[in-house]
Structure 1
Amino acid sequence: MKKLDPLLVGIVVAAALAFVVSARGAFADGFDIAVKLGIALLFFLYGARLSTQEALRGLTNWRLHVVILAFTFVAYPLIGLLARPTTALLDDGLYQGLLFMTLVPSTVQSSVALTGIARGNVSGAVVAASVSSLVGVVATPLLVMWLMGAGDGVHIDASVFTDISLQLLLPFLLGQVAHRWLGELAKSKATKIVDRGSIWMVVYAAFSKGVVSGVWSNVSVGEIAFLTVFSAALVVAMLWLTRVVPTALRFPREDITAIQMCGTQKSLATGLPMATVIFGGASLGVLIIPLMIYHMAQLIICSAYVSRKSFT
């Protein structure tokens, strides 16, 4: 029997803990500061992991990166907009969360791992997913301002770029500077504690705010079930689309695999910190539910896809 993913288990535990023992008062204020520090440390390690030389070399495969970026920041947002009729079944806050899910960058860790299992272009996947994260620092807030700025309860202004730069981009750039000395340490398994821990902290803080403000009373079991089915169907559809399009463009098999794995993933590790910076407040608990559900769906379905498909 396959071992449960510690990240997913931790997310469930953090969410459950928020319902049992919610962060309140002075503890909540102090925990919010700890979350910001954890997010900054996470992006510092992201920067320290990636060699600048490797990134520059990988960027030469521009066709690969353009296609992945097109799926991540064009195809997905269009799907998010086309999903607007789901408000007949979802609360508007949940739809806004679904739309936000389509706007976040691709994930690095699972994209690369799945590409490796499928014997695809691993180096290309590393750079492509990293480029997606970097582009997302600017593209995601821009898309949020453009597509979600007029949404109910969502008010975004230009100051978000300052917050994003200070909390996400600056730590990443400092990590790049420190790569020479900390690169190997940042790649070690020990850094997974920070990787996972920062996500668990964000989930606990976000769900706690939702519990304290009572937003969870507006989320039904039917809505959760619908989001689960929608996420699974979207992953399957994108796996098909990310195979058909690059095949028509005559990409080699290794690159097609990298495009599939990077082009179908949405980053929980990047998306949750971005949501914290961009939105904050009690509504964050509802907004991140679609991203969390999609993250679980993509891991389960893509893992089954690469393990069962015969790669030759």
Structure 2
Amino acid sequence: MASIRDTLKKAGLNTFFFLLIAMIFLAKFFPYWGTADSPLPLKAITGAGISFIFFFYGVKLSPQKLKEGLLNWKLHLVVQSTTFLVFPLVVLFFYALFGEEGNYLWLGTFYLAALPSTVSSSVVMVSIAGGNLPAAIFNASISSMVGIFITPVWMDVMLPETAVSFDLTDTFIKLSLQVLFPVIIGLFLHARLIGFVNKHQTALKNFDQGIILLIVFTAFAESFAEDMFAGYNTWELMVLGTFMLAFFGLMLALMYYISRGLKFSRADTITVMFCGSKKSLVQGAVMGRVMFPDPVVFGIILLPLMVYHALQLMAGSALAQSMGEKKGG
């Protein structure tokens, strides 16, 4: 039984993954509890939780390591460019060929493309595959902060073509108050609180995941309550999953050949591949909650990101394991 659990975990199918799926089913059968009319103050809880998540994220950042990381500027430039420039441009290319104006799944796909990279899973996979770990930590950290500004700008470019209202200035203000300022405060308190954070890593991780689960539940509950998924059948969702898997593979290949073209070392190439191809469900959920105030629409916009998140964990973990074994051999 333990070996089965270990195998599933290596493939990215951990407890959190199954809880995410469970939240969708709960939202489907009990949508009322996730709506604005619910007696439970879930919106207030998630709002406060988001600020706590990013405060402790700031505490985890080491100012010294961030300074040291600036030296490998060429690698950092490639990772950030692939994350925030290549990704959205690839989606825009496919949207020009196959996109439907006003289709929220396409909007959700562009949203995931504009998001920053993950932190924990990127670093873990780079470590397993034998990549440049300090560079991975630096890029994942910087990506999260840069995304607070770049993601809303990309969405402002895309959203005028849709029916979703979007105020860029208001979004910057809200994200600064809820995300950026807590990160900065946490960064300044790094020396004082890092011991506490290290001691309670498991509890803080569980807290982070709990808030994300609440965000996913409320987003899908509102969408199910308004019957927003009525126009999407099983076939379309299967096509979405296939497209997301192909998308992940395409981005990995692009980053591999870009790194080869720039004559990066094997370790740096691995860092580009895993940091540049990953997208953050955490920031996608918390930033989307601010940028898409209509929770009915947000549930659909979040769907491509959730599918991509699951696939990047499964496919990415398998690839990292394979690359790590080749290095060891």
If the TM-score is normalised by the length of the shorter chain, which range does it land in?
over 0.9
CA separation in 1, counterparts of 2:81 and 2:39? 39
Matched to 2:267, the amino acid is E
Residue 304 of structure 2 corresponds to residue 295 of structure 1? no
Counterpart secondary structure, 1:149: helix
Q: CA deviation at 1:42?
A: 0.9
User: More displaced, 144-153 or 113-122?
Assistant: 144-153
Check conservation: 2:35, 2:218, Cα contact below 8 A. no
Q: How does 1:13-32 map to 2 (within 5 A)?
A: 13-22=22-31, 23-27=34-38, 30-32=41-43
- Aligned residue for 1:141? 152
- Aligned residue for 1:129? 140
- Aligned residue for 1:202? 215
**Divergent runs of 4+, >6 A:** none
Q: Give TM-score, length-normalised by structure 2.
A: 0.90
Distance 1:25 1:148, change over 3 A: closer
- Aligned residue for 1:224? 237
- Aligned residue for 2:108? 97
Residue number among 257, 268, 275 corresponding to 2:270 in the alignment: 257
Distance 1:270 1:24, change over 3 A: closer
Matched to 1:177, the amino acid is F
Q: How does 1:128-207 map to 2 (within 5 A)?
A: 128-187=139-198, 188-207=201-220
Check conservation: 1:49, 1:184, Cα contact below 8 A. no
- Aligned residue for 1:212? 225
Q: CA deviation at 1:40?
A: 0.8
Matched to 2:99, the amino acid is T
Matched to 2:322, the amino acid is R
Q: How does 1:51-62 map to 2 (within 5 A)?
A: 51-62=62-73
Distance 1:11 1:58, change over 3 A: same
User: More displaced, 253-262 or 23-32?
Assistant: 23-32
Check conservation: 1:210, 1:285, Cα contact below 8 A. yes
Identity percentage over the alignment?
Answer: 30
Check conservation: 1:97, 1:287, Cα contact below 8 A. yes
Runs of at least 5 residues in structure 2 that lack an aligned partner in the other structure = none
Check conservation: 1:108, 1:130, Cα contact below 8 A. yes
Q: Encode CA deviations 1:21-62: one digit per residue, 9 max, x unaligned.
A: 222344367211111111111111111111111111112211
Matched to 1:5, the amino acid is N
User: More displaced, 152-161 or 112-121?
Assistant: 152-161
Residue number among 281, 286, 292 corresponding to 1:279 in the alignment: 292
CA separation in 1, counterparts of 2:170 and 2:102? 28
Check conservation: 1:91, 1:219, Cα contact below 8 A. no
CA separation in 2, counterparts of 1:27 and 1:186? 33
Distance 1:91 1:162, change over 3 A: closer
Matched to 1:86, the amino acid is F
CA separation in 1, counterparts of 2:107 and 2:165? 9
CA separation in 1, counterparts of 2:308 and 2:102? 17
CA separation in 2, counterparts of 1:218 and 1:130? 38
